[in-house]
Amino acid sequence: MDDDFEYHLKLPSSPYSDASKHSKADLNTTSTDCIKEPVVILLGWMGCNYKHLSKYSEFYEAKGCVTISYIAATSTILFSRAKAKEHAQKILQLLIDFSYEDNPIFFHLFSNGGAIIYHHISSLLGNASEFKHLKNLFKSLKVQSFKPRICVL
């Protein structure tokens, strides 16, 4: 991994516990044992630091979610489309490397910094054969601090 790609992966303080609140019929499955912890990918804004994202990460962790936080450097966002795409690819590769290929995936992105990285992620999901299998795992997109153009995966 190169020196300028940094991410924070945090595990929940307690296992995913929402399964106990649902009946098997609600979950459309035969066993609650197969419920995987949701993974929330937080994509920070330009000028953000991990201290800023930690309150969001802590919120999701308290709900039983794994969190992956990533903040692109301002220079990556403004001047290097190739590096932004490379980092988007590395974020998707983390899901495979940490065996989150069967977990529900949620994105929470902030401002233009998060949106630019998410743009590359959604492009890779549609076009890169090594990531197409992840496409159906994405369950939700939370957008904060900008008006997105709607893009259907």
Question: Tokens 């991994």 identify what position?
Answer: 1
- Which residues does residue 30 pair with via DSSP β-bridges, in sequence order? none
- Which residues does residue 140 pair with via DSSP β-bridges, in sequence order? 106
Helix (H, G, I), strand (E, B) or coil at 109: strand
pLDDT at residue number 66: 97
pLDDT at residue number 151: 55
Show pLDDT as tens, one digit a residue, over the chain (153 residues). 456 899 999 999 776 555 444 433 444 444 445 678 999 999 999 999 999 999 999 999 999 999 999 999 999 999 999 999 999 999 999 999 999 999 999 999 999 899 999 999 999 998 989 998 898 888 888 888 766 565 555
Asked if 140 and 107 touch (Cβ cutoff 8 Å), the reply is yes
Q: Give the relative orientation of helices 81-97 and 111-127 as an angle to the nearest 10 degrees.
A: 70
Tens digit of each residue's pLDDT (9 = 90 or more) over 45-77: 999 999 999 999 999 999 999 999 999 999 999
Instruction: Report domain extents, the chain.
Output: 41-144
Query: Distance between alpha carbon 73 and the CA centroid of its chain, in Å?
Result: 17
pLDDT at residue number 25: 42
pTM assigned to the model: 0.81
